[in-house]
């Protein structure tokens, strides 16, 4: 469904992605793990069109995305729950969710999806009229994810959805990811919390200073010596 081929992305003359190639098949959860500054967020930003690859190509079901502006990419069904969340701080929870469905015109479908995200995140329903900016960090994280879901994306990019959350919430978020996936959304998941990510993903990629150094099925990665040492913190 989504494929990156030899993608090179630069910030000025910082070479952040040095030829990333990866694939996400329809219906999969694929995780991208790596240490700080490895280029995980940059990979997602490149898919979203926020950063342009200097060479290489990004394909969504065969169409090249790398020349399209971000809003066009969003309209083609790529949604992101970004790092730093990027919710609309002065809009209410409901307004934020409605913005997520901005490109959609099927009123009843939007209503159904609203119910669906409220079932996934009952906390958001309680806070429906509260300003996004006044939500707690974890609630903002939920809102960002719920808003991305409101677009009914073909592929959902999640950038560290567990960041800054309490263990219970992390659990909840990961359960939700699995639920969303079972309902048919393809997911590319970027995580620091590699153990959790690998336990729900089908496959994984390990990225180090802008390069994919390892890829395998999630269970294999979990047992990989190097992964255990560097990313799972298990000797």
Partner 1 sequence: MRNIRLSVLFGVIGGILTFLFEGWSVAVVGILMGISLGLAISGQLKRKEPAKLALDVLPSALVSCGILLILSLLQNYVITGVIGHSPAPLEVMIPANLIGVLGGALFLLITVALHGLSEGQERIGRLVLLGLVVIAFPFVDNFTQLGWTSLIIFSLIYVLLGMGLNIVVGYAGLLDLGYAAFFAIGAYTTGILSSQQDNITLNFWLVIWIAAAVAAVAGILLGAPTLRLRGDYLAIVTLGFGEIIPVIFLNLTNVTIKEPLTCWIIPGVERLFGATSKLSCNVIANNLNLTNGDLGINPIGRPALPFIGTFTSNNTVPWFFLIILIILLAIFGINRLRDSRLGRAWMAIREDELAASQMGIDPVRTKLLAFSMGATFSGFGGAFYGAYIAGVFPGAFQFSTSIIILCAVILGGIGNIYGVIVGGLVIETADRLFLPALKDFFTNLMNHSVLPALASQKTLHDIVAQNANPILYRYLLFGLVLVIMMAVRPEGLIPNAQRRMELHEAEEAPNVAASTSVKS
Which residues lie near ligand ATP (CB under 6 A)?
11, 14, 16, 34, 36-42, 83, 192
- For residues 211 and 42, the answer to whether their CB atoms sit within 8 Å is no
Tell me if residue 159 falls in helix, strand or coil. Answer: strand
For residue 71, the partner it binds in ligand ATP, partner 1, Mg ion, none, with Cβ less than 5 to 8 A by kind, is: partner 1
Residues 109-148 that bind partner 1 (CB under 8 A): 131, 147
* Of the candidate residues 27, 37, 89, 184, the single one contacting partner 1 (CB under 8 A): 89
Binding mask 27-56 for partner 1 (x = CB under 8 A): ---------------------x-x------
The interface mask with Mg ion, positions 83-102, x = CB under 5 A, is x-------------------
Name the residue nearer to ligand ATP (CB basis): 34 or 49: 34
CA distance readout (Å), 83 to 79, 103, 144: 13, 22, 9
- Between residues 63 and 166, which has the closer beta carbon with respect to partner 1? 63
Within the chain, strands assigned E span 2-11, 14-24, 29-33, 53-60, 63-64, 78-81, 155-159, 186-191, 203-208, 211-217
- Please provide the size of the chain in residues: 235
């Amino acid at each position: 469904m989504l494929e990156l081929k030899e993608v090179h992305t630069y910030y000025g003359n910082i070479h952040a992605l040095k030829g990333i190639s990866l694939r996400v098949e329809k219906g999969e959860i694929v995780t991208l793990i790596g240490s700080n500054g490895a280029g995980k967020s940059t990979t997602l930003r490149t898919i979203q069109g926020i950063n342009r690859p200097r060479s290489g190509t990004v394909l969504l079901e065969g169409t090249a995305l790398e020349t399209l502006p971000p809003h066009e990419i969003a309209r083609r069904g790529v949604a992101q729950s970004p790092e730093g969340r990027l919710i609309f701080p002065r809009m209410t929870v409901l307004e934020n969710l409605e913005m997520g469905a901005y490109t959609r015109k099927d009123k009843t479908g939007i209503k159904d999806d609203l119910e669906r995200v409220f079932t996934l995140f009952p906390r958001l329903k309680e806070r429906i009229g509260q300003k996004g900016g006044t939500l707690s960090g974890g609630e903002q994280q939920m809102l960002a994810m719920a808003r991305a879901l409101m677009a009914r994306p073909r592929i959902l990019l999640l950038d560290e959805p567990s960041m800054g959350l309490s263990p219970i919430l992390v659990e909840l978020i990961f359960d939700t990811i699995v639920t969303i996936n079972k309902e048919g959304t393809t997911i590319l998941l970027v995580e620091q919390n590699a153990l959790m990510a690998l336990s729900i993903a089908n496959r994984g990629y390990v990225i180090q200073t802008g390069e994919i150094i390892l890829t395998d099925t999630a269970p294999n990665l979990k047992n990989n010596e190097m992964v255990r040492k560097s990313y799972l913190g298990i000797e």
